[in-house]
Amino acid sequence: MRIGIYPGSFDPITNGHMDILKRAAALFDKVILLLAVNPSKKSTFSVEERLKMMKEAVKDMPNVEVDFTSGFTVNYAKKVGSSHIIRGLRAVTDFEYEFQLAAANKFVDSDVDMVFLMAGQTTSFISSSMINELHKNGADISPLVPPSVVEAYSHL
Protein backbone atom coordinates (compact mmCIF):
# COMPACT_ATOMS: atom_id res chain seq x y z
CA MET A 1 0.00 0.00 0.00
CA ARG A 2 1.32 3.42 -1.00
CA ILE A 3 1.01 5.86 1.91
CA GLY A 4 1.58 9.61 1.65
CA ILE A 5 2.06 11.88 4.66
CA TYR A 6 0.80 15.47 4.44
CA PRO A 7 2.32 17.31 7.42
CA GLY A 8 1.76 20.87 8.59
CA SER A 9 0.75 23.18 11.42
CA PHE A 10 -2.86 23.44 10.18
CA ASP A 11 -3.49 26.40 12.50
CA PRO A 12 -6.21 26.26 11.23
CA ILE A 13 -6.74 23.96 8.23
CA THR A 14 -7.83 25.95 5.14
CA ASN A 15 -9.32 25.27 1.72
CA GLY A 16 -5.77 25.62 0.37
CA HIS A 17 -4.72 22.63 2.49
CA MET A 18 -7.90 20.79 1.47
CA ASP A 19 -7.13 21.31 -2.22
CA ILE A 20 -3.67 19.74 -1.83
CA LEU A 21 -5.12 16.96 0.34
CA LYS A 22 -7.83 16.00 -2.19
CA ARG A 23 -5.30 15.82 -5.00
CA ALA A 24 -2.88 13.80 -2.85
CA ALA A 25 -5.68 11.40 -1.91
CA ALA A 26 -6.07 10.63 -5.62
CA LEU A 27 -2.35 9.81 -5.92
CA PHE A 28 -1.91 7.57 -2.87
CA ASP A 29 -3.82 4.57 -1.49
CA LYS A 30 -3.85 6.31 1.88
CA VAL A 31 -2.93 9.82 3.02
CA ILE A 32 -2.19 10.71 6.63
CA LEU A 33 -2.96 14.34 7.37
CA LEU A 34 -0.36 14.89 10.05
CA LEU A 35 -0.40 17.67 12.59
CA ALA A 36 3.31 18.22 13.11
CA VAL A 37 3.38 19.98 16.46
CA ASN A 38 6.06 22.58 16.93
CA PRO A 39 5.89 23.62 20.62
CA SER A 40 8.11 26.66 20.07
CA LYS A 41 5.72 28.10 17.45
CA LYS A 42 2.96 30.32 18.83
CA SER A 43 -0.40 28.97 17.72
CA THR A 44 -3.95 30.31 17.52
CA PHE A 45 -5.61 26.96 18.22
CA SER A 46 -4.59 24.17 20.62
CA VAL A 47 -3.49 20.77 19.31
CA GLU A 48 -6.86 19.31 20.33
CA GLU A 49 -8.82 22.07 18.56
CA ARG A 50 -6.75 21.72 15.39
CA LEU A 51 -7.17 17.92 15.35
CA LYS A 52 -10.92 18.28 15.83
CA MET A 53 -11.21 20.68 12.87
CA MET A 54 -9.00 18.43 10.70
CA LYS A 55 -10.98 15.26 11.55
CA GLU A 56 -14.28 16.96 10.79
CA ALA A 57 -12.94 18.32 7.48
CA VAL A 58 -11.85 14.87 6.22
CA LYS A 59 -14.79 12.84 7.50
CA ASP A 60 -16.05 12.12 3.96
CA MET A 61 -12.63 11.18 2.58
CA PRO A 62 -12.34 7.38 2.98
CA ASN A 63 -8.59 7.10 2.38
CA VAL A 64 -7.53 9.99 4.64
CA GLU A 65 -6.59 9.65 8.31
CA VAL A 66 -5.64 12.34 10.81
CA ASP A 67 -2.80 11.99 13.30
CA PHE A 68 -0.24 14.11 15.11
CA THR A 69 3.43 13.95 16.04
CA SER A 70 5.73 16.10 18.11
CA GLY A 71 8.78 14.56 16.46
CA PHE A 72 10.27 14.70 12.98
CA THR A 73 7.85 13.94 10.14
CA VAL A 74 10.47 11.70 8.50
CA ASN A 75 10.62 9.53 11.62
CA TYR A 76 6.82 9.33 11.67
CA ALA A 77 6.83 8.39 7.97
CA LYS A 78 9.29 5.57 8.59
CA LYS A 79 7.21 4.28 11.51
CA VAL A 80 4.09 3.94 9.35
CA GLY A 81 5.95 2.56 6.32
CA SER A 82 5.74 5.65 4.12
CA SER A 83 8.52 7.23 2.11
CA HIS A 84 6.53 10.11 0.62
CA ILE A 85 5.96 13.47 2.27
CA ILE A 86 3.50 15.78 0.51
CA ARG A 87 3.82 19.56 0.59
CA GLY A 88 2.05 22.38 -1.21
CA LEU A 89 3.77 25.21 -3.07
CA ARG A 90 2.11 28.60 -3.29
CA ALA A 91 4.82 30.98 -4.42
CA VAL A 92 8.54 31.39 -4.79
CA THR A 93 8.63 32.32 -1.11
CA ASP A 94 7.46 28.78 -0.23
CA PHE A 95 10.10 27.28 -2.49
CA GLU A 96 13.11 28.51 -0.48
CA TYR A 97 11.80 27.01 2.74
CA GLU A 98 10.57 23.77 1.15
CA PHE A 99 13.88 23.29 -0.67
CA GLN A 100 15.76 23.49 2.64
CA LEU A 101 13.25 21.25 4.35
CA ALA A 102 13.58 18.63 1.59
CA ALA A 103 17.37 18.61 2.01
CA ALA A 104 17.07 18.34 5.81
CA ASN A 105 14.63 15.44 5.47
CA LYS A 106 16.99 13.63 3.07
CA PHE A 107 19.79 14.19 5.59
CA VAL A 108 17.76 12.49 8.32
CA ASP A 109 16.47 9.68 6.08
CA SER A 110 17.76 9.24 2.53
CA ASP A 111 14.85 6.90 1.65
CA VAL A 112 12.27 9.60 2.06
CA ASP A 113 11.09 11.72 -0.87
CA MET A 114 9.07 14.92 -0.96
CA VAL A 115 6.13 15.26 -3.33
CA PHE A 116 5.19 18.85 -4.21
CA LEU A 117 1.82 19.88 -5.54
CA MET A 118 1.22 23.36 -6.94
CA ALA A 119 -1.42 25.41 -5.14
CA GLY A 120 -4.75 25.65 -6.94
CA GLN A 121 -5.45 28.88 -8.83
CA THR A 122 -8.31 29.92 -6.58
CA THR A 123 -6.74 28.85 -3.27
CA SER A 124 -3.10 29.89 -3.72
CA PHE A 125 -3.47 33.11 -1.68
CA ILE A 126 -4.84 31.33 1.39
CA SER A 127 -2.65 30.81 4.46
CA SER A 128 -3.58 30.12 8.07
CA SER A 129 -2.17 33.50 9.13
CA MET A 130 -4.17 35.24 6.39
CA ILE A 131 -7.34 33.58 7.73
CA ASN A 132 -6.51 34.87 11.20
CA GLU A 133 -6.01 38.40 9.91
CA LEU A 134 -9.23 38.31 7.90
CA HIS A 135 -11.16 37.01 10.89
CA LYS A 136 -9.70 39.65 13.24
CA ASN A 137 -10.85 42.32 10.82
CA GLY A 138 -14.38 41.01 10.63
CA ALA A 139 -14.23 39.45 7.14
CA ASP A 140 -16.38 36.42 6.26
CA ILE A 141 -13.89 33.55 6.13
CA SER A 142 -16.47 30.87 5.29
CA PRO A 143 -15.56 30.65 1.55
CA LEU A 144 -11.91 29.98 2.47
CA VAL A 145 -12.02 27.31 5.18
CA PRO A 146 -13.95 24.10 6.00
CA PRO A 147 -17.18 24.63 8.04
CA SER A 148 -15.50 23.15 11.17
CA VAL A 149 -13.05 26.08 11.16
CA VAL A 150 -15.81 28.71 10.91
CA GLU A 151 -17.42 26.98 13.89
CA ALA A 152 -14.16 27.00 15.90
CA TYR A 153 -13.62 30.73 15.31
CA SER A 154 -17.11 31.43 16.59
CA HIS A 155 -15.97 30.04 20.00
CA LEU A 156 -12.70 32.01 20.15
Residues that bind ligand ADP (CB under 6 A): 8-10, 16-17, 20, 87-88, 90, 94, 119, 123-124, 126-128
d(CA 58, CA 65): 8
Tell me how many degrees the CA angle 48-97-16 measures, rounded to the nearest 5: 50
By the 10 Å C-beta count (0-12 exposed, 13-18 middle, 19+ buried), 146 is classed as buried
Q: Tell me how far, at minimum, the Cβ of 61 lies from ligand ADP, in Å.
A: 16
Closest CB to ligand ADP among residues 1, 44: 44
Task: Clarify whether 84 is annotated catalytic.
Answer: no
Is residue 90 among the annotated active site residues?
yes
Identified catalytic residue from 40, 41, 42, 155: 41
Query: To the nearest whole angstrom, how small is the minimum distance from the Cβ of residue 2 to ligand ADP?
Result: 19
Does 154 qualify as catalytic in the annotation?
Answer: no
Q: Which is nearer to ligand ADP, 1 or 39 (CB)?
A: 39
Annotation marks residue 46 as catalytic: no
With CB atoms as reference, the residue minimizing the distance to ligand ADP is: 16
Contact between residue 153 and residue 49 where contact means Cβ atoms under 8 Å apart: no
> Quick one: which of 25, 37, 48, 12 has its CA closest to 115?
25
Cβ of residue 33: shortest distance to ligand ADP, in angstroms? 10
| Nearest of 35, 10, 31, 11 to residue 21 by alpha carbon | 31
Just list the catalytic residues. Answer: 17, 41, 90, 128
